Amino acid sequence: AKPALAPAGTRAATFRTPARGSPRRRASAPATPEEPSSGGVQASPLRHSYPMTPTQPRPATPSLPSTPSGTSVHQNRVRVALRIRPVSTADRGHTGQVFAVDGTSVQVNTKALTETGRESPSSLDRTFTFDHVVTGGQEQVYSAVGSPLLQDVFQGYNACLFAYGQTGSGKTHSLQGSPEDEGVIPRMIRDLFGQARSRCAHDPALNINVTLSLFEIYNEKIRDLLGKASDSPNLDIFEDVDRRVQVKGLTKHTALSPGDALDLISQGNRRRQVGPTMMNHTSSRSHLILQVTVAQTHEPCVVGLRDMESMITITDLAGSDRVSKTEAVGGTFHESKKINHSLLMLGRSLNSMSEGHTFVPSRDSKITRLLAAYLQGNCKTMVLATVSPTAFNMTESVCTMEFAQNAAAVKNTVRVNNTAT
């Protein structure tokens, strides 16, 4: 059953509601001078276009630098977590583990490749280093990528998490999971409301309002998954006066509890485009984007305090398809072409960002235009790269790790989203 949606501006019963007609004030943060929010990018020797077959050996990735925290405006590097899923049916009977994990580093296990009867090209004999390497369950994934971003949001920063990898590598499972083994999204929603109640109990003047939107990009068309059936199936992208990329006509819904939010997400997921392939019986055929806005306000206001409103965006990218493996035909083949093209354009844009180019192509696909704002603008961004552990998907796994390695070279200029009162 659909949850009863509260009108815009309604506060959850567990949060303090200001008196009718009184002005709303937002959460406190030390007043700081306004500074530009345009993203900064530093050059990197890494380059990648997806999909591709590695042909040249590359040096091992150096240890990743830490990112500063505790300041209102600073440079922030994109953080990357790699998840190596367990062996599954998508590995077509291959069971040999071809990765050796050492802390936050991953090395191709050439001995395992030889044992499977596959040569070990020098281009695959490489070591990759990330912020996190996850080989455990959903709780470990959330601790690595979900919990840190939620803390950023409560501090007033925009945050973004997107999952990238080939079809069947575990992106959707990592983000959404199952009722018995919840993924990042339901865990984050429950944690968000739990922390909101705790913060409001600690500060009686604090109000927290949560709204969300959910949409998909299918065959380069944007569809609101929480809108009416009669709404346009192809929404437009535009830039507002602050040069923020927005989706025109996208509906926003107030969630008064974690149950409300999860029910809305479940409703939207049922409308998402999925289909079976030889690599995944429930393959995502569209890019899914969830946007959750958290507005923190104080009433009564205190001189010198600021409002804070931030957004966390979680993107479940459709997986890259190699037709020789998915055996896609007809409409599924057409979907695969659109998916691979959009991921290729995203990879090219990321190349330009990591190499410090002044011009970054971001208008060749809609998902690239949206994600470019999170990879270059005012946002703390995390990439969750998912890979298969076996030789059967080795080429795709290495390409995924190259993409993630490039992402770690990109830096944003982030700031607290507040306004003087």
Instruction: Decide if pLDDT at 17 tops 70.
Output: no
Cα separation of 153 and 311, whole Å?
7
Q: Residue 32's closest CA among 265, 305, 372, 222?
A: 305
CB 49 within 8 A of CB 348: yes
Residue 160 pLDDT: 96
Tell me the pairing of strands 177-178 and 181-182. Answer: antiparallel
- Compute the distance between CA of residue 102 and CA of residue 278 in angstroms, rounded to an integer: 32
Three-state DSSP at 105 gives: strand
Q: Which range is most confident: 111-120, 305-314, 333-342? A: 305-314
DSSP-derived letter for residue 124 is G
Tens of pLDDT, residue by residue over 298-331, are 887 766 667 799 999 999 998 776 665 656 666 6
Q: What is the pLDDT of residue 185?
A: 98
Q: Are 169 and 321 in contact (CB under 8 A)?
A: no
* Mean per-residue pLDDT of the chain: 78
183 backbone dihedrals φ, ψ, rounded to 5°: -95, -165
Q: Express each pLDDT in 82-113 by its tens digit.
A: 999 888 766 666 666 778 888 899 987 655 55
pLDDT at 67 over 70: no
For residue 331, the model assigns a pLDDT of 67
> Does the N-terminal peptide bond of residue 51 adopt cis geometry, omega within 30 degrees of 0?
yes
pLDDT at 137: 93
Note the pLDDT of residue 41: 37
Average pLDDT over residues 241-262: 91
Mean pLDDT in residue range 359-363: 77
Q: Which residue has the higher pLDDT, 214 or 322?
A: 214
| pLDDT (mean) for 209-226 | 94
- Return the higher-pLDDT residue of 298 and 131: 131
153-210 residue pLDDT tens: 999 999 999 999 988 889 999 999 999 999 999 999 999 999 999 999 998 888 999 9
Confidence of residue 275 (pLDDT cuts 50, 70, 90): low
**Residue 124 Cα to chain centre, angstroms:** 27
Residue 324, token pair as written in the block: 């020789």
Check residue 350 and give its pLDDT: 86
Mean pLDDT of 16-35: 44
- 397-414 mean pLDDT: 91
- Is the pLDDT confidence value at 297 over 70? yes
Q: Is 44 exposed, middle or buried (0-12, 13-18, 19+ CB in 10 A)?
A: middle
Highest mean pLDDT among 56-65, 214-223, 363-372: 214-223
152 — pLDDT class (breaks 50, 70, 90): very high
Asked if 313 contacts 290 with a C-beta cutoff of 8 angstroms, the reply is: yes
What tokens were used for 294?
A: 């958290």
